[in-house]
Amino acid sequence: AQRVTQPEKLLSVFKGAPVELKCNYSYSGSPELFWYVQYSRQRLQLLLRHISRESIKGFTADLNKGETSFHLKKPFAQEEDSAMYYCALRGDSNYQLIWGAGTKLIIKP
């Protein structure tokens, strides 16, 4: 079954601390993984996709096929990073996105 799991509903860290938002997936083929972010009262925005291998707003994510994970990391959190973060998977035979439940990230001053 295709599934995305984000085990943490809420993650609260202090400004300047490292952040890691976990994402695990279940998919039998070659998925494409995404991180979307939703700031308060704003739309879902693409943050990262694994095939781009880029860093956006200081965030990085590496696809680990052995552990079926795509964790999102940032070495030094900033207050403006507070938002909902969603991990999503797109299969290689269709184009719908399968979503995790989301993690609410709160950065404390």
Q: Where does this chain bind another protein (CB under 8 A)?
A: 34, 36, 42-46, 49, 86, 88, 94-102
Contact 107, 81 (CB under 8 A): yes
Cβ 94 to another protein shortest distance, Å? 5
Instruction: Count the Cβ atoms, other than its own, within 10 Å of residue 41.
Output: 5
The residue among 33 and 77 lying less far from another protein, judged by its C-beta, is 33
Cβ 102 to another protein shortest distance, Å? 8
The residue among 52 and 79 lying less far from another protein, judged by its C-beta, is 52
The residue among 55 and 96 lying less far from another protein, judged by its C-beta, is 96
- Phi first, then psi, for residue 79 (nearest 5°) are -60, -35
d(CA 36, CA 87): 6
Contact 2, 26 (CB under 8 A): yes
Cβ 37 to another protein shortest distance, Å? 11
The residue among 13 and 97 lying less far from another protein, judged by its C-beta, is 97
Cβ 61 to another protein shortest distance, Å? 14
Contact 12, 77 (CB under 8 A): no
